[in-house]
Amino acid sequence: MNKMRFDFVPFFNPGENLPWTRIMEMIREQTLLAEQADFTTVWMTEHHFAHNGYLNASPNPVLVCADLAARTNKIRLGQAPIVLPDWHPLRVAEDVAMLDNLSGGRVDFGVGRGTNERACLQFNMKPESDKRNDKESYALFRECLDIILKAWTQDPFTYEGEYYTLPMPGWFETNRMFEPWDERYHKEDGEYKAMYIHPRVVQAPHPPVWMMSNAPFTYEFAGKEGHNLIGMAGAKGNINACWNAYKKGAEEVGRNVELGDHCGMCTVIYVADSFEQADKDLRSSVNLYYEFLAGARPSGEWMKQAYLAKGEELTPAEVDADWFDFLTGRNIIWVGTADYVAEQIEEWQADCNVNHLMLLQQFPNFPFEKIMASMDKFATHVMPRFQ
């Protein structure tokens, strides 16, 4: 049986705007449990303007990771993801490099293009940042990532692209502390021609890049570039299509990888003492959560059909089923006893060579104590079977 990597996304109490002092207490407690249980990475998501509480994840995953870095010793600190088009790439390069230093080199750098929502144009008024324009926003995302990686690995650093020219031409140094001019960064007349980004990252050549996607073309790109990916659980055929795309991209540049290498899967997992208890605890919360997701993307990306393999159709029973029965019936979420969850992992290992799982437990209006109890059961009764 293959050794598994286990990561998780902390519970941030969707559906209710609790004070963030309390949410941080819960995140810290859950992260300390995860570190003791040998989870590899805690992943912090990014959301904004959550007046109804459903997207009340932290607006700044880097800042929360810095808090967790100070309270932990070995667990890695990831962002799931930083929405690059909504940030200035130099700020991301500096902030994540600082986090890498604060944590002693424990950053997993998670990036994404983001989805079309009310936040995207509030931070970046450039038309290409509008997620409704897939081609332009993806090009902006790619350029932002390129800038960050070059800023971490090049000194002096310059960049000229479609959206950014760095440094901005026409700045003449006026601070006499920089005299005499260093020819690496200034022209003879003092014009700023190249940059030094600090602090330098701890990990060499830079923190691992993790992309969040379920699109095969993104997997192929990541395979070519040597990045990693995490996607949401779905039909096994769709997962295999993504992971085959990654393998194809890697092999095109001479990288030999096994199916599933450098790829993770994010799925809902809840462990209880019995199926009856798991159903009683979770059914209403799962239904609320997925009804919210389906409504969040009215174009249908997260409707039931999106969880089927290519060419499949919903059965009449699935059309009428609630989300809980549909998703558990398809083994897309794993809700039940420790033995059942372990069996699901074994099945996905056999069918898709899954070797990396990210646990998701964002259950609306759900008691934190039950989140902790489930995670403790998972750590005690499931994880040891795969380590």
What is the pLDDT at residue 375? 98
For 222-274, the pLDDT digits (tens) are 999 999 999 999 999 999 999 999 999 999 999 999 999 999 999 999 999 99
Q: What is the mean pLDDT of residues 7-15?
A: 93
DSSP single-letter state for residue 105: S
Containing 5, the helix (H) or strand (E) segment is strand 5-9
Quote the percentage of the chain above a pLDDT of 90.
83
What is the pLDDT at residue 93? 98
Q: How far is Cα 200 from Cα 98, in angstroms, rounded to an integer?
A: 8
Centre a 10 Å sphere on the Cβ of residue 203 and count the other Cβ atoms it contains.
Answer: 17
For 71-123, the pLDDT digits (tens) are 999 999 999 999 999 999 999 999 999 999 999 999 999 999 877 666 667 77
Q: Whose CA is closest to 92, among 106, 76, 109, 108? A: 109
Residue 1 has pLDDT above 90, yes or no: no
For 27-47, the pLDDT digits (tens) are 999 999 999 999 999 999 998
Query: What residue has token string 């249908």?
Result: 300
Q: How far is Cα 76 from Cα 183, in angstroms, rounded to an integer?
A: 39
- Give the helix ranges, DSSP H, for the chain: 20-36, 61-69, 89-102, 120-123, 134-153, 216-225, 236-252, 275-296, 316-320, 323-329, 338-352, 368-377
Quote the percentage of the chain above a pLDDT of 70.
94
For 158-200, the pLDDT digits (tens) are 999 999 999 999 999 999 999 999 999 999 999 999 999 999 9
What is the pLDDT at residue 323? 96
What is the pLDDT at residue 118? 67
Helix, strand, or coil (residue 138):
helix
Q: How far is Cα 53 from Cα 22, in angstroms, rounded to an integer?
A: 14
pTM: 0.95
Q: Taking the chain, what is the end-to-end CA distance rounded to the nearest angstrom?
A: 9
CA distance readout (Å), 127 to 11, 83, 297: 34, 16, 21
